[in-house]
Structure 1
Amino acid sequence: MRDLGAGFGYLLKGQRWVARHGKQYGFGLLPGLITLVLYAAALVALAFWGEDFVAWATPFADDWSSPWQGLFRGFLTVVLFALSLLLSVLTFTAVTLLVGQPFYESLSEKVDQDVSPDGTAPESGLPLWRELWISARDSLRIVVRAVLWGILLFALGFIPFVGQTVVPVIGFFVTGFFLTEELTAVALQRRSVQLRERLALLRSRKLLVWGFGTPLGLAFLVPFVAVFLMPGAVAAPP
């Protein structure tokens, strides 16, 4: 249980670090703001045209009598929007890190230099285009894993009682794990640690990972909070 507290402590240390380095904090806000605008636009569009999309996707229900057609398509519209919100939470970090790779790489290097005894930071030695390719490839792999987990948990949510109690808790821990993987990738990729090795490392310290990532995932559910916590989250990984 000590690792849970230690993980949360790393999260707080990252936020304190960016609070003391205002320039780096402002620099690190930009990718989150860009991603937030993109996600907000997509969700607003879904809210306006989600019902039309569901009607288009279910032509077999055109001849259903009232109220069954409305109930069926209304239920699917709610499911579509709820699933989109869940996927937004699961993928926000991956997309933000991909958009902000140069920003967060610079921020991570500054943290390494600050905490290193000799003031230096590890370097991958790879050109920028290669780092961006590796980041995009690994992010896609993690997003696919997160989406599969999201679909599974969403389906399990229909199980009476368990779906309303146990499944949401599991969902937060799963979200915390994937958030931590994405955030640690910034520093570990620079140390040439591959995705498979990173996942094995995180699985070996699950309590530490959950102590760091789960509170962050909960905070990310609050509108706009993710944008302001991202710079500190990048600075914080254990």
Structure 2
Amino acid sequence: MKNFLAGARTLGTGFGLILRSPRLLLIGAIPALLSAVLLLGALGSLLYFSGDLVAAVTPFADGWSDWLRQAFRLIVGVALVGAAALLASVSFIALTLLIGGPFYEHIAEQAEQRLGLDTSDDGAGVARQIGRGVRDALKLVLIAVVGALVLFALGFVPVLGQTAVPVLGAVFGAWVVALEMVGLVFQRRGLDVRDRRRALAGNKASTLGFGLPTYLLCLIPVAQLVVIPAAVVGGTLLAHRCLDEKTS
């Protein structure tokens, strides 16, 4: 519990720094707004066409009785939209960081300076760092897709799908969010997604303490505009703690 609360405090530190710096808040809010518009538009389109899509992928149900066919397709439709919403929620930060990479890099650097953290990197140029960011973002989206598909399948299991799956979805989302948010520091030091996974695996409680409230707050419309910049600061602090433990 102590480490969990320590992880949560890193997000609190991020909120404190961002809310005292309106300029950093504005810089961080713009990419988050763009990502939210894109993903909400995609989800809205999926919801609008979900009936036709479900009917197209379940032609075998055409000969069933009306009530059974409608009930089955309703369950499939709800599961499909739910999986898409989970995928959007865990991909939101990856997309936001990809769109606003230079903005969030600036926020992370400002956080390091104000919090007295090490600002060194591996000396790679800007182009190489951007390439790392794109590559890592694609890997994280792939992880999110695989996780969403697994949870989508588990959603059809009676009882388990209605009880454990929502909890597993939140924990999975928190883990992916933490992987994404520590990335700016790890990338500057030439470390990839595998290094992040190993570092966070050694700090599970702190990672969950940071990732879970970040993930849940990102589900609230508009709040994302403040949460993402604050989480960039919190993720920067968490990354330094993980790296310091690794090298000590």
- Deviates further, 123-132 or 33-42: 123-132
Instruction: Kindly state the Cα deviation for residue 198 of structure 1 after the two structures are TM-superposed.
Output: 1.5
The aligned amino acid for 1:236 is G
What whole-Å deviation, never above 9, does each CA across 1:114-159 have from its counterpart, x for those lacking one?
2237xx7324433333222211211221222222222223322333
Residue correspondence of structure 1 range 29-178 to structure 2 within 5 A:
29-116=29-116, 121-178=119-176
How far apart, in 1, do the equivalents of 2:161 and 2:53 lie? 27
* Structure 2 length-normalised TM: 0.87
1:195 counterpart = 2:193: yes
* CA distance 1:79–1:164, shift in 2 (3 Å): closer
How far apart, in 2, do the equivalents of 1:53 and 1:200 lie? 39
How far apart, in 2, do the equivalents of 1:161 and 1:50 lie? 24
How far apart, in 2, do the equivalents of 1:67 and 1:115 lie? 61
Tell me the equivalent position of 2:181.
Answer: 183
Instruction: Kindly state the Cα deviation for residue 64 of structure 1 after the two structures are TM-superposed.
Output: 4.2
Contact kept, 8 Å, 1:124 with 1:189, in 2: the verdict is no
Contact kept, 8 Å, 1:146 with 1:178, in 2: the verdict is yes
The aligned amino acid for 1:161 is V
Contact kept, 8 Å, 1:14 with 1:232, in 2: the verdict is yes
How far apart, in 2, do the equivalents of 1:157 and 1:79 lie? 7
1:230 counterpart = 2:231: no
Contact kept, 8 Å, 1:36 with 1:227, in 2: the verdict is no
How far apart, in 2, do the equivalents of 1:170 and 1:75 lie? 20
- Deviates further, 97-106 or 52-61: 52-61
- Deviates further, 38-47 or 189-198: 189-198
* Structure 1 length-normalised TM: 0.91
Contact kept, 8 Å, 1:97 with 1:104, in 2: the verdict is yes
Instruction: Kindly state the Cα deviation for residue 62 of structure 1 after the two structures are TM-superposed.
Output: 4.0
How far apart, in 2, do the equivalents of 1:82 and 1:195 lie? 27
Tell me the equivalent position of 1:215.
Answer: 213
- Deviates further, 186-195 or 35-44: 186-195
How far apart, in 2, do the equivalents of 1:44 and 1:165 lie? 26
Identity of aligned residues (%): 35
Instruction: Kindly state the Cα deviation for residue 63 of structure 1 after the two structures are TM-superposed.
Output: 4.6
How far apart, in 1, do the equivalents of 2:45 and 2:106 lie? 34
Structure 1 portions without partners, runs of 5+ = none
Structure 2 portions without partners, runs of 5+ = 239-248
How far apart, in 1, do the equivalents of 2:75 and 2:167 lie? 24
Instruction: Kindly state the Cα deviation for residue 217 of structure 1 after the two structures are TM-superposed.
Output: 1.2
- Deviates further, 215-224 or 7-16: 215-224
How far apart, in 2, do the equivalents of 1:225 and 1:109 lie? 23
Contact kept, 8 Å, 2:54 with 2:76, in 1: the verdict is yes
